[in-house]
Amino acid sequence: MEIVKIIPKADYATLESIAEEYLGQDLAELKTMYDKYPAAFAGYYIDNALVGCCYGQGGSDGYFTLNGIAIVYPYHAQGRGSKLLAFFENCVYKLGYIRIDLGSADGYVERFYLKNGYTPIALKILVEGDGWKEQQQGYAFPVAEVQTQGEYTKLVLTVRDYAAMNKNEITEHYGGVESFFVFEKNLT
């Protein structure tokens, strides 16, 4: 039997194992999120065993950030992630949030979010130094905002045409060391 439900404290150790192995989640941060937003920790169960999780934390302006979603092998890639995500979205809405945002991994993960109604809104690129400033002159994908992340400068580019944006080429153009798309979904 398969069911999606809130992850109870009795299954917290299994949640930790999944989050650490599949998502590289810092366990202290996971505990803080779970303690603050237990009603936003969705679990996918098969025969009473936790095989997937989706969780996050609240932010400002009605945004809730999805920090992790995973279905363990061999149960993944069979539609369970979409069911888990839909349940999570409903939980977040019940908590009073109207939007979900997230930073996405590459490839199939981006396609997963697109398939589930998420819209790419920004490309964030981590760079070292300020050589990027010269690279934006007349470039088709200009920097809209600059942020700081530790020792890096984070360039934020607005997504107007996701299909036209080759993330790897843009990242290389700006001399980036890492990049990811930010997606959002309005829950109303």
Question: How does residue 168 score in pLDDT terms, banded at 50, 70 and 90?
Answer: very high
Domain spans, the chain: 2-97, 119-186
Task: Give me the percent of the chain exceeding a pLDDT of 90.
Answer: 86
- The verdict on whether omega for the bond into residue 120 sits within 30 degrees of 0, i.e. cis, is no
Mean pLDDT across the stretch 125-137? 90
Amino acid identity of 176?
G
What is the average pLDDT across 165-174?
A: 96
Which residues have CB under 8 Å from 42's CB, separation 6+?
4, 5, 6, 7, 53, 54, 55, 84, 87, 88, 91
pLDDT tens for residues 10-55? 999 999 999 999 999 999 999 999 999 999 999 999 999 999 999 9
Taken in order 22, 28, 33, 34, is the CA torsion positive or negative?
Answer: positive
- Give the pLDDT score at 32: 96
DSSP string, 79-91: SHHHHHHHHHHHH
Q: Which of 6, 88, 93, 91 is nearest to 45 (CA)?
A: 6
pLDDT value for 131: 87
- Entry pTM: 0.91
Q: Which residues pair with 110 in a beta bridge?
A: none
Evaluate if residue 60 carries a pLDDT over 80: no
Neighbours of 111 (CB within 10 A): 11
Name the percent of the chain lying above pLDDT 70: 100
Q: Kindly indicate the confidence band of residue 61, based on its pLDDT and cuts at 50, 70 and 90.
A: confident
Give the class (CATH, top level) of 2-97. Answer: alpha beta
Pick the CATH number of 119-186 from 3.30.70, 3.40.1130, 3.40.630, 3.40.1350: 3.30.70
Residue 149 pLDDT > 90? no
Is the per-residue pLDDT at 59 higher than 90?
Answer: no
pLDDT in tens, 98-129: 999 999 988 889 999 999 999 999 999 999 98
